[in-house]
């Protein structure tokens, strides 16, 4: 069982890397808006493009 | 006398709040940082929690079936290693809150929590270093994790309430065309000052309040009036920021910019309405304070008793008491149910943004509807065709009108857009006269469609005065009048059914509209609504809502359009039918993107179910706490049992809340679409 003395610290190291990666993701705004990308699919953007030429 | 800002900020900080000076439109930044930090803390607690649980299993197994001394020490050491960041980083807010509470003499829930965490960690640390005694790292981390999750969910829902200022600022364009000494230049909207002249072209959003100096604009002023018909603003007329220009060019002299515009004023109305904290919250805070004081006394008393009775057991028993009395299940009781309800509602076509709406929809509440765009489609349609010329039928008259109006930018022309077989006519020499109508030639015959006097010029018949109650469009040709079309805003197909369902469920229904009283009366009659008000300005609508609340009634407002935003915020709860106006979205408690009114009836049913489940959860959580306290105080519960008991009770609460996911109401019959299909 003495292999655990190696494996557990190794596991913790990997976990540390994962946590660091998560910290980076949060810092770069990946988790800022989890709702509106899902909502955007459903919402209509009914604004028509402005007319190129004006009516007389 | 003026106080320096720094002094104000210090005083506010001393009270326990975190003051943050912000620039108009930038409120959301502080909230975002707060959210990110909370997320990081939560993750550290979760990751560490998983590790500690694993190690704890090894230690417990070792306690039962034997473990080598070195191995035991090793596991304790790594548990300590993993639990330390949780206590010093993830649990920081609890310690900070506890200190603040003690300093200001108002201890909150943070005090017993911080005590439990601190005591457990210190005891475990000492035990690890000395190699003897019990360790409670798993209890500590589990404790912190659970509480962090609950607080995180709470914070998220609070932050959503504060995002409207950003939505307001996003309505206006980033840059405008300014005219200085005859030269046109692009400039930042922030650089505009009173007295500047800006150019407004078709498709632009007006950037500031002002007066038209030269030219004419056809403005969609949904910002102020919520009406679908655009208004003509000629020289000397006032225009407002946020209005969309449908047609025409003009030069506008700026009278108010940024925070001084009408738009900003509406935003401030919303803010003040939202800052209105319900008295229930204040009461709950006060009760929590007494509860905490009692809790601490109890824990101290228990500790004291056991210190004399059996000192070795004093620490674990005090820990168990503190942990068990922590109202985790109580804290999760409501949020868990609300989260499930929100998911279920989303499946039924309603996006729930703020949960307070569910607690407001009790029988007896008044539901106030806006008319245009909410009860009606918000689009002009032909409601009636009076054929004057006997040679034509309704169909042919419509076809003629549609052919002439084809491609017209005018809002009323949209009413003819759905008419089929308009292509049968070859239209030539089409000429649009702004504000009057369209003239065209079909098969060699001259036609005119539009206002009565414009058409009368061709037909030779006397023009009729415009009707105050309806919008009439005349179609005439060389020989005489062909037909008169009544353009109206048709009621939504499910409006009557939805209102009947709501009154049947015990709600009172009213209509408050900015449209002309005659039109509102007709709609109210068609829907069977007794209480209605027409011709209301946004302020008048807010006044109406406030007067209802002053009478002790609860008010839920259903509307759309930006002018409804202050009214939505002034009511106890609000629903926005239109997903397109960002401001209504931000200030409403729920949105119905599919604009389906029957969804409201389902909302009421789900709200009732949610309240039921919340009551069940609260009863269970309280019962558990009360039963567990004597067990813990008398030494029957070890700290790990207390922690498991706390987790199990929270789990039960969450599972009960999940029942809402499967809720099926009588109103929710097959016709309800999922959100994806509802985008029409």
Please judge whether B51 and A55 are an interchain contact, meaning their C-beta atoms are less than 8 angstroms apart.
Answer: no
Please judge whether A19 and B43 are an interchain contact, meaning their C-beta atoms are less than 8 angstroms apart.
Answer: yes
Residue B48 phi/psi, 5° resolution? Answer: -60, -40
Q: Which of B71, B351, B679 sits opposite A1 (nearest CB)?
A: B71
pLDDT confidence tier of residue B671, bands split at 50, 70 and 90:
very low
Tokens of A25: 């993701």
C-alpha torsion B418→B419→B421→B427, nearest 10: -100
Tokens of B122: 């210190």
Rg (CA), chain A: 25
- Considering B39-43, B557-561, B625-629, the range whose residues carry the highest mean pLDDT is B39-43
Q: Are B441 and B427 in contact (CB under 8 A)?
A: yes
pLDDT on residue B50: 93
- Taking 90 as the threshold, does the pLDDT of residue B542 lie above it? no
| Chain A interface, best mutation among B202, B432, B433, by max A CB count within 10 A | B202
- Taking 50 as the threshold, does the pLDDT of residue B495 lie above it? yes
Say yes or no: A37 contacts chain B, CB-CB below 8 A: no
Say yes or no: A52 contacts chain B, CB-CB below 8 A: no
Q: What is the pTM of this model?
A: 0.60
Q: Are B440 and B425 in contact (CB under 8 A)?
A: no
Please judge whether A50 and B43 are an interchain contact, meaning their C-beta atoms are less than 8 angstroms apart.
Answer: no
For B384-411, how does the pLDDT look when each residue is reduced to its tens digit (9 = 90+)?
A: 788 887 888 888 888 888 888 876 766 6
Nearest Cα to B398, choosing from B378, B412, B418? B418
Number of Cβ within a 10 Å radius of residue A44: 12
Smallest CA–CA separation between A42 and chain B, in Å?
5
Rounded to whole angstroms, the Cα distance separating B672 from B601 reads: 11
The ipTM is 0.76
Say yes or no: B118 contacts chain A, CB-CB below 8 A: no
Q: Of B223-232, B247-256, B362-371, B495-504, which range is least confident?
A: B223-232
pLDDT on residue B286: 67
The rounded percent of chain B whose pLDDT value lies above 90 is 11
Smallest CA–CA separation between A13 and chain B, in Å?
11
| Chain A interface, best mutation among B47, B48, B152, B173, by max A CB count within 10 A | B47
pLDDT on residue B45: 95
- List the 191-220 stretch of B: residues with Cβ below 8 A of A: 201-204
What lies within 8 Å, CB to CB, of B116 at 6+ separation is B143, B319, B322, B323, B326
Q: Of B5-14, B197-206, B313-322, B418-427, which range is least confident?
A: B418-427
B370 is catalytic: yes
For B199-240, how does the pLDDT look when each residue is reduced to its tens digit (9 = 90+)?
A: 888 888 888 888 888 888 888 776 554 455 677 888 888 888
Rg (CA), chain B: 33
pLDDT on residue B678: 37
Nearest Cα to B349, choosing from B579, B159, B568? B579
> How far apart are the two ends of chain A, measured CA to CA in Å?
89
How far, in whole angstroms, is CA B582 from its chain's centroid? 10
Please judge whether B71 and A46 are an interchain contact, meaning their C-beta atoms are less than 8 angstroms apart.
Answer: no
Q: Are B148 and B4 in contact (CB under 8 A)?
A: no
Rounded to whole angstroms, the Cα distance separating B155 from B266 reads: 26
Q: Which residues pair with B440 in a beta bridge?
A: B447
Calculate ∠ Cα A7-A10-A15, nearest 5°: 125
Per DSSP (E only), the strands in chain A are none
Q: Which positions in chain B touch A50 (Cβ < 8 Å)? A: 201-204
β-strands B590-591, B217-220: how paired? unpaired
Q: Which of B36, B204, B431 sits opposite A26 (nearest CB)?
A: B36
Rounded to whole angstroms, the Cα distance separating B466 from B518 reads: 14
Q: Which positions in chain A touch B201 (Cβ < 8 Å)? A: 50
Q: Of A4-18, B273-287, B451-465, which range is least confident?
A: B273-287
If you measure CA to CA, which chain A residue comes closest to B28?
A32
Say yes or no: A16 contacts chain B, CB-CB below 8 A: no
Rounded to whole angstroms, the Cα distance separating B604 from B595 reads: 16
For B416-475, how does the pLDDT look when each residue is reduced to its tens digit (9 = 90+)?
A: 777 765 556 777 777 877 667 888 888 888 888 887 777 887 777 665 665 556 677 888
Number of Cβ within a 10 Å radius of residue B404: 27
Please judge whether A22 and B35 are an interchain contact, meaning their C-beta atoms are less than 8 angstroms apart.
Answer: no
Say how many CA atoms lie within 13 Å of B488 toward its Cβ.
21
pLDDT on residue B28: 55
Alpha carbon distances (Å) from B316 to B51, B163, B309? 23, 46, 14
Edge-to-edge strand list for the sheet holding B244-247: B231-233, B217-220, B244-247
Between B319 and B412, residue with greater pLDDT: B319
If you measure CA to CA, which chain A residue comes closest to B32?
A32
Residue tagged active-site, from B110, B370, B406, B489 = B370
Per this entry, what is the length of chain A?
56
| Chain B interface, best mutation among A43, A49, A52, by max B CB count within 10 A | A43
Between B64 and B106, residue with greater pLDDT: B64
Rounded to whole angstroms, the Cα distance separating B655 from B593 reads: 29
pLDDT on residue B268: 63
Q: Are B667 and B601 in contact (CB under 8 A)?
A: yes
């Amino acid at each position: 069982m003495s292999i655990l003395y190696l494996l557990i610290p190794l596991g913790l190291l990997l976990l540390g890397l994962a946590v660091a990666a998560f910290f980076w993701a949060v810092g770069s705004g990946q988790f800022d808006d989890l709702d509106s990308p899902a909502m955007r699919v459903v919402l209509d953007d009914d604004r028509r493009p402005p007319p190129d030429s004006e009516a007389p | 006398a003026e106080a320096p800002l720094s002094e104000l900020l210090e005083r506010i900080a001393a009270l326990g709040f975190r003051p943050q000076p912000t620039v108009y439109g930038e409120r959301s930044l502080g909230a975002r940082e707060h959210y990110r930090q909370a997320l990081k803390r939560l993750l550290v607690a979760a990751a560490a929690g998983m590790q500690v649980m694993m190690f704890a299993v090894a230690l417990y197994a070792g306690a039962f079936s034997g473990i080598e001394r070195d191995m035991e020490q090793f596991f304790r050491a790594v548990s300590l290693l993993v639990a330390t960041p949780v206590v010093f980083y993830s649990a920081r807010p609890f310690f900070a809150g506890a200190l603040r509470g003690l300093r200001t003499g108002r201890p909150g829930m943070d005090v017993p929590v911080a005590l439990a965490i601190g005591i457990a960690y210190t005891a475990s640390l000492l035990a690890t270093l000395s190699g003897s005694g019990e360790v409670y790292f798993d209890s500590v981390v589990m404790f912190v994790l659970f509480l962090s999750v609950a607080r995180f969910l709470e914070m998220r829902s609070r932050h959503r309430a504060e995002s409207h200022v950003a939505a307001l600022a996003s309505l206006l364009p980033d840059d405008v065309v300014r005219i200085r000494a005859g030269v046109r230049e692009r400039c930042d909207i922030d650089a505009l000052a009173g007295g500047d002249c800006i150019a407004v072209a078709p498709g632009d959003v007006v950037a500031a309040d002002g007066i038209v100096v030269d030219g004419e604009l056809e403005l969609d002023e949904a910002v102020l009036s919520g009406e679908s018909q655009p208004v003509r603003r000629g020289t000397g007329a006032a225009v407002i920021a946020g209005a969309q220009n449908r047609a025409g060019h003009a030069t506008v002299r700026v009278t108010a910019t940024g925070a001084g515009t009408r738009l900003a004023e509406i935003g401030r109305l919303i803010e003040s309405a939202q800052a209105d904290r319900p008295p229930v919250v204040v009461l709950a805070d006060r009760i929590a304070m007494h509860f905490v004081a009692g809790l601490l006394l109890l824990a101290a008393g228990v500790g004291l008793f056991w210190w004399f009775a059996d000192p070795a057991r004093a620490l674990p028993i005090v820990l168990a008491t503190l942990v068990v009395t922590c109202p985790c299940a109580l804290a999760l009781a409501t949020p868990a149910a609300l989260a499930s309800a929100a998911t279920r509602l989303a499946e039924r076509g309603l996006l729930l943004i703020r949960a307070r709406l569910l607690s407001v929809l009790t029988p007896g509440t008044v539901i106030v509807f806006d008319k245009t765009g909410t009860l009606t489609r918000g689009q002009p349609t032909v409601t009636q065709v009076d054929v004057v010329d006997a040679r034509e039928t309704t169909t042919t008259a419509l076809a003629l009108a549609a052919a002439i109006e084809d491609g017209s930018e005018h809002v009323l022309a949209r009413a003819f857009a759905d008419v089929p077989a308009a292509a049968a006519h070859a239209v030539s020499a089409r000429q649009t006269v702004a504000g009057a109508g369209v003239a065209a030639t079909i098969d060699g015959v001259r036609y005119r469609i539009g206002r009565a006097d414009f058409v009368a010029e061709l037909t030779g018949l006397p023009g009729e005065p415009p009707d105050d109650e309806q919008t009439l469009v005349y179609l005439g040709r060389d020989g005489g009048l062909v037909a008169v079309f009544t353009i109206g805003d048709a009621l939504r197909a499910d409006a009557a059914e939805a209102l009947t369902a709501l009154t049947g469920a015990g709600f009172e229904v009213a209509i408050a509209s900015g449209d002309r009283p005659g039109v509102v009366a007709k709609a109210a009659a068609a829907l069977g609504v007794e209480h209605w008000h027409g011709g209301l300005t946004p302020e008048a609508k807010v006044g109406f809502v406030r007067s209802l609340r002053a009478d002790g009634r609860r008010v839920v407002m259903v509307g759309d359009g930006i002018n409804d935003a202050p009214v939505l915020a002034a009511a106890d709860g609000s629903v926005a039918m239109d997903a397109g106006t960002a401001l209504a979205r931000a200030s409403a408690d729920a949105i119905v993107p599919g604009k389906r009114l029957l969804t409201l009836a389902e909302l009421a049913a789900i709200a009732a179910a949610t309240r039921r489940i919340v009551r069940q959860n609260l009863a269970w959580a309280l019962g558990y706490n009360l039963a567990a306290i004597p067990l813990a105080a008398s030494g029957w519960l070890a700290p790990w049992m207390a922690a498991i008991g706390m987790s199990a009770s929270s789990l039960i609460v969450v599972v009960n809340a999940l029942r809402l996911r499967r809720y099926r109401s009588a109103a929710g019959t097959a016709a309800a679409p999922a959100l994806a299909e509802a985008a029409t």
